Structure 1
Amino acid sequence: MQQIEFQLEHEFVELNQLLKLVGLCDSGGAGKALVATGEVCVDGTQELRKTAKIRAGQRVRMGDVEIQVGSST
């Protein structure tokens, strides 16, 4: 499994934007489409809210990629 660490610069990032920022898709719209497929999990639970607020300490998984979200502050 590929591990990616992402450091937040703000309180949260929207799920579709996070997928774009780590390079799993080309745009926020493509991120929304990925979430809609049901293949994205947040903290082990399927997440269908395209703009769910992802905060420091959460883990996002899509396929064999896991993103650990941390805080840069």
Structure 2
Amino acid sequence: MRIRNVEISDDSIRLGQFLKLSGLAEDGGHARALLEADEVTVNGRGETRRGRQLRNGDVVAVGDEKARLVVASPA
């Protein structure tokens, strides 16, 4: 299964925001619904907290789709 890298400029991002940014969720309401339905995992473990802080290298999955958080290197 392929993991898509999603780059951000900050050191961390909240899970709800990352779900939208990565395209794993269509919008905030969809992200909330996915979390409430226990359809989201972070690094292979179920997660229900929208505010969970993600850090460089964390892998978020919804169904068969996976996205890895990559913190951009300073220019």
Report the TM-score when normalising by structure 2. 0.85
Paired with 2:10 and 2:70, the residues of 1 have a C-alpha distance of: 11
* Aligned residue pair count: 73
Q: CA deviation at 1:29?
A: 2.8
Percent identity, aligned pairs only, is 32
Runs of 4+ in structure 1 deviating by more than 3 angstroms, as ranges, are none
Superposed CA deviations along residues 1-44 of structure 1, whole A, max 9, x for unmatched, are: 34211112111111111111112222223212211110100011
Extract unaligned runs of 5+ from structure 1: none
Extract unaligned runs of 5+ from structure 2: none
Paired with 1:42 and 1:13, the residues of 2 have a C-alpha distance of: 13
Superposed CA deviations along residues 39-66 of structure 1, whole A, max 9, x for unmatched, are: 1000111001111111101111110011
Q: Do structure 1's residue 24 and structure 2's residue 24 form an aligned pair? A: yes
Q: Do structure 1's residue 34 and structure 2's residue 9 form an aligned pair? A: no
